[in-house]
A = this chain, B = another copy of it.
């Protein structure tokens, strides 16, 4: 029992859950799964908006809300009760955890992973292979309230740990590491480690060791490749030349 607009374009082998609502302005490619109680292509009463495109192989879990005028790439995984607003571009193979709040007008690049309950303010840029952990907040207004929307930039392979807030426009560098519960009020350069509130740069990421060993824990892609393409390490090493 669902409510699927006849104007929506739905591909082959699309699985729609219970009590799903799909609005007019939606294109869903083949092999997509839409979870129960999800609201797909929600329109905020604006006219002539662009469509919502959900590309092939993507799975959206239950109780999620996705606005029109957005795009979700192939083989992505969207958690339970996620909210994705207008003008969000999500590339392929992205994961967005349950309870996350993607405020729109932002881009999340391929192979980026957001854990549960991440808040992405407008005009944020999350680049490929970045990891954002639970309750991280990307803010965008330096003098709230204002008309300014200057989101953070999370460069490829960067790690932002649980409970951290990134202040407007701050750049988390390539392969860098932000510790838990940090308040990031300055840019963090590539492969550097920063923690705390106030935020303090602690040195190179090689300071962090694998527990009970003397081995470097970072760059993480050299020891953890689950669900990534086979050449992810080489992608890291090639990008490293560009960023460092």
Which chain A residues have a beta carbon within 8 Å of chain B's beta carbons? 1, 3, 18-19, 21, 36-37, 39, 42, 62-63, 65, 80-81, 83, 98-99, 101, 103, 113, 116-117, 119, 131, 133-135, 137, 139, 142-148, 159, 161-163, 165, 167, 180-181, 183, 196-198, 208, 210-211, 217-218, 220, 223-224, 226
Q: Contact: B117 with A101, CB < 8 Å?
A: yes
User: Shortest beta-carbon distance, A155 to chain B, in Å?
Assistant: 16
Q: CB within 8 A of A165: which of B81, B113, B181?
A: B181
Q: Contact: A116 with B119, CB < 8 Å?
A: yes
Q: Contact: A83 with B65, CB < 8 Å?
A: no
Q: Contact: B101 with A98, CB < 8 Å?
A: yes
Could you say which residues of chain B place their CB within 8 Å of the CB of A211? 142-143, 148
Q: How many copies does the complex hold?
A: 3
Q: Contact: B165 with A162, CB < 8 Å?
A: yes
Q: Contact: A159 with B135, CB < 8 Å?
A: no
